[in-house]
């Protein structure tokens, strides 16, 4: 049986004229099945081609050596044991194992039935930090918001995370919580990231885990909430918006499933004592929805216990039951009370956008 296989291999070589001047080392390997570890193969060599079953062979160059083996695992083991070997081609019918002293990428691999090509992982010296995992091509797959060649640093925001290629796969409307470190911050900040790379700093929707948004100054500065409903915190928002330029992206989702995504240019908190907001004009045509944030530009942040609004007679935050950049007072209140029905009661502390006759089912405030 073994003998026949060896002969078949020799026959194959002479047939396709690959013998060149090489001396083939014809090893008859008698590998006990317990040793035939798939783990060895999967950890040290990787198959060329995006398709894991791609049948292909390296271009017609002289191989380092060729042997006859029973399995691709035995073939891969020969390569692993040979420091000069960078890749193998294995013919699964003839049991031919060719070792090469160079590596191949998918473009070089020639479609050839019966052959599979495996390359040694370029693991030389690469160490992935912060829980990152070494990929077959020798690069790191970073986790948790880390980016860089060796996952050595945190992303500055969700957009950098997404563009780095280390962002996890997620559905269109999903979000994931990752660590981020804007330039000015000395510590990591947990942020909700949208699938589009937006950094979410406020999120509300009706769930069983309703969070009370009627809160005092320190909570609005530090941030609060759970993974469903949250406020990132003014200090963190100051770090982000002073480390990089951002637009403000709103998400307003009504009970009739209409969604609005107005975008305002140049969103920034200009100081870190009262967190005054600076906001440019909307980029979209707001004729349908109305521009109800324009009176917010230049306002300081207020809570019921820290009244910095632009009214000398009122405490807007107390009336509206929310922290916000109140003027005297506001045409929109994203931090107001939500509703199970969406029916507006025209009370001051409800969530509203002036001009919409319903209370949104969900809202988000995002940096992009």
Ligand X SMILES: *[C@@H]1O[C@H](CO)[C@@H](O)[C@H](O)[C@H]1NC(C)=O
Q: Which residues bind ligand X (CB under 6 A)?
A: 212, 214, 254, 256, 258, 272, 298-299, 310, 327, 356-358
Q: Is the CB of 166 or the CB of 253 nearer to ligand X?
A: 253
Least distance between ligand X and beta carbon 212 (Å)? 4
Q: Is the CB of 118 or the CB of 353 nearer to ligand X?
A: 353
Token pair 């499933």: residue:
257
Q: Is the CB of 55 or the CB of 272 nearer to ligand X?
A: 272
Least distance between ligand X and beta carbon 177 (Å)? 23
Q: Cα torsion at 216, 219, 223, 228 (round to 10°)? A: -70
Q: Is the CB of 256 or the CB of 346 nearer to ligand X?
A: 256
Q: Is the CB of 77 or the CB of 204 nearer to ligand X?
A: 204
Least distance between ligand X and beta carbon 92 (Å)? 58
Q: Is the CB of 43 or the CB of 244 nearer to ligand X?
A: 244
Torsion-angle region of 144 (φ positive above 0: left; ψ -120 to 50: alpha; else: beta): left
3-state secondary structure of 79: helix
Q: Is the CB of 164 or the CB of 243 nearer to ligand X?
A: 243
Least distance between ligand X and beta carbon 165 (Å)? 31
Query: In b/e form, how buried is each residue of 325-338, taking b as 16+ CB within 10 angstroms?
Result: bbbebbbbbbbbbb
H or E segment and range at residue 2: helix 2-16
Least distance between ligand X and beta carbon 282 (Å)? 17
Q: Is the CB of 147 or the CB of 296 nearer to ligand X?
A: 296
Q: Are strands 45-47 and 110-111 parallel, antiparallel or unpaired?
A: unpaired
Of the candidates 119, 112, 120, the one whose C-alpha atom is nearest the C-alpha of residue 56 is 112
Least distance between ligand X and beta carbon 296 (Å)? 9
* Alpha carbons 15 and 189: distance in angstroms, whole number: 64
Of the candidates 70, 106, 76, the one whose C-alpha atom is nearest the C-alpha of residue 89 is 76
Least distance between ligand X and beta carbon 215 (Å)? 7
Contacts of 201 (CB under 8 A, 6+ apart): 191, 231, 232, 236, 237, 240, 365, 366, 367
Least distance between ligand X and beta carbon 271 (Å)? 6
Query: In b/e form, how buried is each residue of 275-285, taking b as 16+ CB within 10 angstroms?
Result: bbbebeebeee
Q: Is the CB of 161 or the CB of 360 nearer to ligand X?
A: 360
- Count of residues in the chain: 368
Sign of CA dihedral 331, 307, 201, 246: positive
- Strands (E) across 197-351 are located at 199-205, 224-225, 230-231, 248-253, 259-260, 263-264, 268-269, 277-278, 332-333
Least distance between ligand X and beta carbon 360 (Å)? 10
Beta-carbon-side half-sphere exposure of residue 318 (alpha carbons within 13 Å): 9
């Amino acid at each position: 049986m073994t003998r026949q296989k060896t002969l078949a291999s020799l026959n194959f070589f002479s047939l396709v004229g690959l013998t060149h001047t090489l001396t083939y080392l014809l090893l008859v390997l008698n590998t006990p099945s317990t040793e035939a570890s798939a783990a060895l193969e999967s950890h040290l060599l990787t198959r060329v081609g995006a398709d894991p079953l791609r049948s292909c062979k390296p271009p017609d160059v002289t191989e380092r050596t060729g042997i006859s083996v029973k399995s691709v695992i035995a073939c891969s083991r020969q390569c692993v044991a040979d420091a000069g070997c960078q890749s193998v081609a294995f013919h699964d019918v003839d049991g031919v194992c060719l070792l090469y002293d160079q590596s191949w990428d998918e473009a070089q691999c020639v479609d050839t039935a019966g052959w599979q090509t495996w390359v040694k992982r370029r693991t030389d010296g690469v160490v992935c930090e912060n829980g990152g995992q070494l990929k077959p091509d020798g690069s790191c797959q970073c986790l948790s918001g880390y980016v860089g060649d060796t996952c050595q640093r945190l992303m500055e925001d969700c957009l950098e995370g997404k563009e780095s290629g280390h962002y996890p796969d997620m559905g269109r409307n999903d979000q994931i919580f990752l660590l981020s470190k804007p330039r000015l911050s000395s510590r990591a900040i947990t942020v909700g990231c949208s699938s589009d790379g937006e950094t979410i700093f406020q999120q509300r929707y009706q769930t069983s885990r309703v969070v009370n948004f009627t809160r005092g100054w320190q909570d609005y500065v530090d941030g609060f909430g759970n993974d469903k409903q949250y406020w990132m915190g003014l200090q963190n928002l100051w770090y982000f918006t002073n480390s990089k330029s951002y637009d403000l992206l709103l998400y307003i989702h009504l009970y009739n499933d209409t969604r609005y995504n107005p975008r305002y240019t140049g969103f920034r908190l200009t100081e870190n004592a009262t967190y005054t907001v600076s906001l440019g004009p909307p980029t979209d045509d707001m004729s349908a929805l109305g521009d109800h944030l324009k009176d917010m530009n230049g306002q300081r942040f207020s809570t019921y216990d820290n009244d910095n609004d632009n009214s000398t007679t009122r405490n807007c935050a107390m009336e509206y039951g929310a922290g916000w950049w109140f003027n005297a007072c506001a045409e929109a209140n994203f931090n107001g009370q939500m509703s199970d029905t969406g029916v507006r009661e025209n009370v001051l502390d409800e969530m509203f956008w002036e001009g919409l006759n319903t209370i949104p089912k969900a809202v988000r405030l995002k940096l992009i």
